[in-house]
Every structure is written in C-alpha cells, then in structure tokens.
Amino acid sequence: MNCLEERILKDGVVKEGNILKVDSFLNHQLDVELFDEMGAEWAKRFEGVEINKILTIEASGIGIACVAARHFNVPVVFAKKTQSVNLDGEMYTAEVESFTHKNKNNVIVSKKFLNENDKVLIIDDFLANGCALQGLISIINSAGASVAGIGIAIEKGFQSGGQIIRNLGYRLESLAIVDGMDPATGEISLRK
Ligand code: G4P
C-alpha cells in the first residue's frame, strides 16, 4: 500500500453521493510531504517517458502538480476555469461539465504555453467521470502537442472515467483507486 492509499484509509471521509472528502490533506489543507512522495511515485512510474511539461486544472490540481514537477524538472501550466464565453483567439478552450458540481465551465489555456513540441503529463487530484481529463486532452490536441501520460491521485474506480481514458489508449497512472465507499459505515475499499 502506498502512502496516499494509507492516508485515504486513515483520514478520508465518505459522504453521501459517492463523494470522498480528503480536504484534510489533498484539496483544502495540503500535505506537501505527501505530495512529494506522490510526485516521486509518478516519476518512477513514468521513468523513461519523454515529458517536458505538466498540465493540470485549477484549483486542486495545482499544488499537486507543482510538487510533482520538482521530480520531473518541467514547468507546470494550469487550465483556468471560466464561465465567460467571451474568449479571444489566443486561447485554447474546451467545455468541461462537472458531475459533482452540476455545472459547465470553459477551461482555457493560453496558446503561449502549449505548442506542438510539447509532450505533456496531465496531473489531477480526482478522476470520476473523466470530464475534466477529456477537456485537458482536447486542449492538448488543439495545440498539436502530445499526451505523454496521465497521473491521477485518486481514481473513483466505480465511475466511468478511468475505463474511458484507458480505452482511448492513454497511459493512466492512478496512485489510489477507490472501488467502493459506504457512507453508513465509512468503509472505503481500495483496489489491490
Ligand atoms: P470528472 O472531471 O472526472 O468528470 O469529475 P467530476 O466532474 O465529478 O469532478 C468535478 C470536481 O469534483 C472536480 O474538482 C473533481 O476533482 C471533484 N471530485 C469528484 N469526485 C470527488 C470526490 O469524491 N471527492 C472530492 N473531494 N472531489 C471530487 P473541481 O470541480 O475541478 O474542483 P477543484 O479542483 O477546484 O477542487
């Protein structure tokens, strides 16, 4: 069991609606030491893969991506979320629907920071239905760049995102895969 899995079992809280609350270490209070170990683990798993940039999405992905980037020695770009439709031509954009928040955002990345020479590792905190990831992949494709791999902290294995992304042929490395959660008992089952 890796350190993230151990931490999920220790401090993760199961909420109604298939939500795993990990705000004491992952997406509100941030355990930077844990992020560092997660970064080291992704660096090990993606060893030998050419990566020159990390792409993530605001807000929770940013901290994790920045600490991970220290293990890859590459810059981090984050996609910004905006409700605005008034975007100029200097941006790549994709529409992302949030299952959790039940809203739609345009996510944008400036054309200055992504181009056809980039080999991009996508990093994010959660993978649920994969909408955010598909938005990021679409932005990378628009830039003519390539997806070198995808690193996710927590994949919710009972939602469709992981399967969709693996079926599309991407290399997806999730550090913890939650296969089930019981809000009544608080029990969390992790994939072995
Ligand atoms: P998807 O992108 O994989 O389809 O997932 P979804 O629409 O369900 O996710 C929407 C937001 O909710 C994402 O954050 C995602 O990280 C988060 N999320 C999904 N499932 C869980 C969960 O079980 N627990 C927690 N804590 N978060 C979950 P976001 O809207 O981008 O918010 P943020 O990055 O600003 O925090």
Residue 110 has pLDDT above 70, yes or no: yes
pTM: 0.96
User: What is the model's pLDDT at position 98?
Assistant: 80
Handedness of CA 150, 156, 161, 164 (dihedral sign): positive
Which is more confidently placed, 89 or 157?
A: 157
Please give the sequence-ordered ranges of beta strands (E in DSSP) within 8-133, or none if there are none. Answer: 13-15, 19-21, 53-57, 76-82, 91-98, 103-110, 119-127
Once rounded to an integer, what is the mean pLDDT over residues 155-181?
A: 98
CATH T-level topology, domain 3-190: Rossmann fold (3.40.50)
Residue 183 has pLDDT above 90, yes or no: yes
User: What is the model's pLDDT at position 102?
Assistant: 80
Q: Tell me the pLDDT tens digit for each residue of 48-101.
A: 999 999 999 999 999 999 999 999 999 999 999 986 666 667 999 999 988 777
Residue 127 has pLDDT above 80, yes or no: yes
Q: 13 CA to middle of ligand 1, Å?
A: 15
User: What is the model's pLDDT at position 89?
Assistant: 73
C-alpha–C-alpha distance, residues 76 and 91, integer Å: 17
Q: How confident is the model at residue 121 (pLDDT cuts 50, 70, 90)?
A: very high
User: What is the model's pLDDT at position 84?
Assistant: 62
Binding site membership of 189 for ligand 1 (Cβ less than 6 Å):
no
Pairing of β 119-127 and β 53-57: parallel
Binding site membership of 99 for ligand 1 (Cβ less than 6 Å):
yes
Q: Taking the domains of the chain in order of start, what are their residue ranges?
A: 3-190
User: What is the model's pLDDT at position 88?
Assistant: 65
Ligand 1 atom nearest residue 128's Cα: 3
Q: Which amino acid would we find at residue 83?
A: Q
Q: Taking a C-beta distance cutoff of 8 angstroms, is the pair 170, 142 a contact?
A: no
Q: Which residues contact 23 (CB under 8 A, 6 or more apart)?
A: 29
Q: Taking a C-beta distance cutoff of 8 angstroms, is the pair 154, 174 a contact?
A: yes
Binding site membership of 162 for ligand 1 (Cβ less than 6 Å):
no
Binding site membership of 134 for ligand 1 (Cβ less than 6 Å):
no
Ligand 1 atom nearest residue 15's Cα: 23
